[in-house]
Structure 1
Amino acid sequence: SLAKIDSKNEYFLYSRKKLLDFKKRLPRLPAGNFRHCVDYFKKGPDRVLPELDIFHTSSYDLERPKKAERFIVTIHDVIIKAYPYGHSEKTIKEVDGELKRVLGEADLLIADSNNTKADMGKFYQVSESKIKVIYPGVNISDSSRLGLRPRSKNIANIVRASSEAASREQYILFVGTIEPRKNIQGLIKAFNLLKKEHGIAHKLIIAGMKGWMYEDIFKEYENSAFKNDIIFKGYISDQELARLYKNASVFVYPSFYEGFGFPILEAFGYGVPVVTSKTSSCGEIAGDSALLVNPERYQEIVEAILKIISDSSLRQGLIIKGFERAELFTWQNTSIEFLNCLTNT
């Protein structure tokens, strides 16, 4: 997206290892002003890159290059301070030190959300004037991005297709890493209550890789009287993830803390009603297009899920709102705001 709107500036894409196949990707760019610089031997940007007007990074462990006139850093979150549970004292100390250094060195900080901006002020006393919020994008119109539905003027067809799939498949979906911060234990407790007291026919599908400190999560699963209706998918392909999103009755994302929360927008883009946390950035990103709950109270998760699966009018309204909400988060908008930062900093 940045290449499409800026043919004036020259960009050097710096990476410490070759994460992407740029031989295939770079020729697709509409502009010839992008160069890829791979730092195979970890020499650092000063020994690999030329003189720069601006150096931008989202890696807090990179020091300010001497060759750069201005230093811009994107901070995705400050989980290490806002939700330190699950991190060792050594990791917390190291990351905290790196963040303090880079927050002080940067001329401008970019935050993924207002919540992250507020956290930088709260935990590191960073001035608001030094932080610019730029939301990342989700390619709703690009079918290559997890097969997301393209924009459509006929939203009624989307609602109808989603409703038919949900009534046919009947499952509640969660997507994310298996770790304490995602509140999967609370979701399983809510699911147990939905089965026991409300007799719902739905299954619970949890898609995502194991992260860390997941033992208690699987213990909660093993102790569930309804474990046969709880399915851990583990790592899945983009195609399978697309199918799970499109056919879900409801997507539930009760995370305790998120710097942004891409799965919320992905679910919106597929036309799936969403239940998510009112805390951290989740409520900010979802707006009024989802049912918001206190993640500490799994009874609220129960009530929100029940509302959606039992009220077709509410469900349809959330699908429409969610689809429209997702279309606000485009990489084109992100690139325009980012370019403004580069030219006006």
Structure 2
Amino acid sequence: MKVLFIGLSNNDKVRGVEQYCINIVKFLAKNQDLQIDLLCGQWQRNYYDQLAAANVNILCAPCGRSKLKRHFFLIKSVKQLSNSYDLVHYCNTLPVFRKNAVPTVITIHDIAEYKIRQKYTLIQRLYRKLVTKLSSSIADKIITVSNFSKDEIVNALHIAPDKIKVIYNGINHLPFQFNYNTKVDFNNKKYILYFGVLEQTKGIPELIKAYEQIADQIIDYNLIFIGKKGNEFEFLQQHLSDKINYLGFLDYDDLYAHLHYASCMVFASKYEGFGFPILEAFIFNDNIITSNTNSLGEIGKDFAICINPESVDELSDAILQTIKFPKSFKTEEKAVILNKYRWENAAYLTYQSYRELIKNL
């Protein structure tokens, strides 16, 4: 089976979608039945070239990096390109405005454009809705990364549930150990931790209010934020103090050390398609607080305290509970939970979806 895998994006550094592409393709390529060509931008070669060692053929799209140029190329060229393949798989919500010559799969990680108004400008939101609506209706199969996202797609886009396959992402690309020789002395440090991009909808105002609400009961604990500056950074900046700290963006060893030594990690986001942050935290820390209203509750139900992200009272109570009665998972218990999220499994289920689709069309 010859597959055209479309990994074309704007990013010259690996982010969530690119991590998905690298790992799915790497493990798919181990299947002797598959020959994979990966279509990307020239600016992406610095991270996709590693797949050549897995016998993946890297193709560079003859287009510019801007969204206009990338999307115009895909709309104009993929149908013709698809004549040379048995199946086309788009790695993300990309424009599929006409049927390809062969079966088409698209992975939709979330539909934030329908749910989070403040994440995009009006023009961006309208265009993304158009792309999502058309692509999901034209594609022959949709893969998504959680049951929560599947329900969102079904309800918002009116897609038949049996057209959508839920395949969890893997996390075994992450380092499961870190260098304890960090620059930070963690002796006697007590803190509650948030890490991730500082964006609206991530529950940052509620976390600060929850901390301030119980500050007199946990006077020895600081609240620490780690991550890239986003559209909620200005709000955070207004609340920084000797007890509420922002450490910026840290390298892996320092980040994982901070995760490991935190009294608890809080990620009460209001909308997520998948739960990478809580799984990443759970590798190093047993005490996670997260949302119960989106995919984080689905992913975290086996190990986290799940609360309503809109409720400051629930969040403050969960922080107090975690500090007073911390959880402790046995190594084998943690391994069973994390083993559900392996790229080998995701690639196998993706391959099965290819086979079923080709067989049924």
Q: 1:173 to 1:10 in 2, by over 3 A?
A: same
8 Å CA contact retained: 1:55, 1:71: yes
Residue matched to 2:212: 192
Residue matched to 2:294: 280
| Bigger mean CA offset, 239-248 vs 249-258 | 239-248
Q: 1:98 to 1:201 in 2, by over 3 A?
A: same
8 Å CA contact retained: 2:286, 2:329: no
Q: 1:129 to 1:319 in 2, by over 3 A?
A: same
Q: How far did 1:8 drift?
A: 1.8
Q: How far did 1:214 drift?
A: 4.0
In the alignment, does 2:147 pair up with 1:114?
A: yes
Residue matched to 1:332: 344
Q: 1:27 to 1:58 in 2, by over 3 A?
A: closer
Paired AA for residue 272 in structure 2: E
In the alignment, does 2:27 pair up with 1:2?
A: yes
Computed over aligned residues only, the root mean square deviation of the Cα atoms, in angstroms, reads 2.5
In the alignment, does 2:108 pair up with 1:80?
A: no
In the alignment, does 2:51 pair up with 1:26?
A: yes
List gaps (5 residues or longer) in structure 2: 1-25, 64-69, 179-184
Partner Cα separation in structure 2 for residue 246 and residue 324 of structure 1: 19
Partner Cα separation in structure 1 for residue 307 and residue 95 of structure 2: 37
Residue matched to 2:354: 342
Paired AA for residue 13 in structure 1: L
Paired AA for residue 41 in structure 2: R
SS in 2 for 1:276: strand
Q: 1:51 to 1:28 in 2, by over 3 A?
A: closer
Partner Cα separation in structure 1 for residue 219 and residue 271 of structure 2: 28
Residue matched to 2:11: none
8 Å CA contact retained: 2:264, 2:285: no
8 Å CA contact retained: 1:64, 1:106: no
Paired AA for residue 121 in structure 1: V
| Bigger mean CA offset, 255-264 vs 18-27 | 18-27
8 Å CA contact retained: 2:222, 2:243: yes
Partner Cα separation in structure 2 for residue 23 and residue 284 of structure 1: 31
SS in 2 for 1:231: strand
SS in 2 for 1:21: helix
Q: How does 1:60-209 map to 2 (within 5 A)?
A: 60-63=93-96, 68-139=101-172, 145=174, 147-149=175-177, 168-196=188-216, 198-209=217-228
Partner Cα separation in structure 2 for residue 97 and residue 187 of structure 1: 34
Partner Cα separation in structure 2 for residue 229 and residue 40 of structure 1: 52
SS in 2 for 1:181: coil
What's the TM-score once normalised by structure 2's chain length? Answer: 0.80
Q: 1:260 to 1:149 in 2, by over 3 A?
A: same
| Bigger mean CA offset, 318-327 vs 91-100 | 318-327
Partner Cα separation in structure 2 for residue 213 and residue 231 of structure 1: 15
Q: 1:79 to 1:109 in 2, by over 3 A?
A: same
8 Å CA contact retained: 2:108, 2:144: yes
Q: How far did 1:217 drift?
A: 3.7
SS in 1 for 2:318: helix
Q: 1:319 to 1:8 in 2, by over 3 A?
A: closer
Residue matched to 1:13: 38
Identity %: 26
8 Å CA contact retained: 1:294, 1:300: yes
Partner Cα separation in structure 1 for residue 267 and residue 293 of structure 2: 11
Q: 1:213 to 1:230 in 2, by over 3 A?
A: closer
| Bigger mean CA offset, 51-60 vs 103-112 | 51-60
Q: How does 1:242-257 map to 2 (within 5 A)?
A: 242-257=256-271
Residue matched to 1:297: 311
8 Å CA contact retained: 1:275, 1:304: yes
Q: Deviations over 1:294-339 (max 9, x none)?
A: 1111111111111111114xx1149875553222111111111111
